[in-house]
Amino acid sequence: MARLGGWTGYRVGKWRHELRRQQRWLVIELEPTPGAQRQCTGCGQAVVAIHDWTMRRIRELPVFGAPVELHVPRLRLACQGCGPRLEQLDWLDPHARVTRRLADSVARLCAVTSVLHAARWHGIDWKTAKAIDWRALERDLGPVDLEGVRRIAMDEFAIQKGHRYATVVVDVERKRVLWVGRGRSRVEIRPFFERLGPARCARIEAVAMDMNTAFDLEVRQHCPNARVVYDLFHVVAKYGREVIGRVRVDAANQLRHDKPARRVVKRAHWLLLRNPRRLKEAEHIRLDEVLAANRPLMTAYVMKEQLKALWNAPTAWAWRAAWKQWLRHAQESGIPALTHFAQCLKPYWRGILSRVRWPLHTGLLEGINNKIKVIKRIAYGYRDDAYFFLKIRAAFPGVG
Ligand SMILES: [Zn+2]
């Protein structure tokens, strides 16, 4: 058992089963192996003399389904250099209540499930599980490396159902989270640029973002050489809400005396918002029927596809032609919601054109947005920003 346990410096004294809350526990009493090589936690030097010890109860990985508790006389060595100091052990961290092996298992579980579930699985307190996960994340992630960052994306997200916000900054090239901070105002995102420092700020070439934020002003203030690139994902989402949503509601209202036709239009909402390439054949037919029956809806839908195409223009020249055409179509559409949307979009043309020169893959922002939602759902109930932000960093640790 001692060899399986690998409790260096200790051997198994007695062991027994104990019934606790109708569960069979395995309690193992360890005792210091006489004459073992021991190391001081202070200086790392080999020390022979033992100063004193305190009995500790330490949780270990379960054996054959039974929870395991170790009784460990934790030694303080009489180090000549440091005085009384804890013994350095490779299987138990100073002041830890669980072995390193159990901690590793908890941290691995926390990567795929909630802290609460990980804690329940091992029968430990959720605060203990969270502390373990926190330490493991900090150890694995290390400090953020800000060297060589050239292209970034910034995005905001809600922490609590639209009440509190946070901002995430991502290195687009290496697909890693550089910074997460509370808030979304200029002042609240400033610490990121301050940490980056003037020299590294000057090396930023492009910043992708949603156009409805205060980020662009702050970027211009700190990063003299950066181009702001508006993110397709946000523009299309806004178009879906403000144009397609509006046109669909109007269409349904016009059909209020024709209930079956109205239902068809109402149900078509998600068909209209989805990527047409992902639709099944039957869904395509339904979509075509809805569009044929409603001209404004058809227009709004086609204009959405053309709007998306602006982000894929091969050259600035092709972009300009497509942009002018899109604006003209929007103005001539006779659809107030579309005309209004186009008017609002117009001043942002530089940031859309920038996409041609700086093809930042903004699918990354969409991916991070979705991942944050998942993390939020899993971690529900733990209102701890720092831990939440650490989990976001861990989800995008980077490549290369
Ligand atoms: Zn020492």
386-395 confidence digits (pLDDT tens): 888 888 998 8
Distance from Cα 86 to the centre of ligand 1, integer Å: 9
Annotated domain spans of the chain: 2-97, 151-231+360-395, 233-356
Under CATH, which number does the domain 151-231+360-395 receive? Answer: 3.30.420.10
pLDDT at 345 over 60: yes
pLDDT at 360: 67
Buried b (16+ CB within 10 A) or exposed e, 92-119: bbeebbbbeebbebbbebbeeebbbebb
Is the distance from CB of 115 to CB of 82 less than 8 angstroms?
no
Stronger pLDDT, 18 or 257, i.e. the higher one: 18
Cα–Cα distance measured from residue 284 to residue 303, given in angstroms and rounded to the nearest whole number: 18
Q: What is the pLDDT of residues 28-51, one digit of tens each?
A: 999 999 988 899 999 999 998 999
Distance 78 CA to ligand 1 centre (A): 8
Residues 6+ apart with CB under 8 A from 259: none
Q: What pLDDT, in 10s, does the model give residues 183-195?
A: 989 999 999 999 9
Per-residue confidence (pLDDT) for residue 92, from 0 to 100: 95
Average the pLDDT over 142-153 and give the result.
Answer: 90
- The CA 373 to ligand 1 mean position distance, Å, reads 47
Strand spans (E) along the chain: 10-20, 23-32, 50-63, 66-79, 83-86, 151-160, 164-171, 176-182, 206-209, 227-230
Q: Distance, CA 79 to ligand 1 centroid (Å)?
A: 5
Q: Tell which residue, 143, 198, 206, 203, has the closest CA to residue 172.
A: 206
State yes or no: pLDDT of 72 exceeds 90.
yes
pLDDT tier at 382, thresholds 50, 70, 90: low
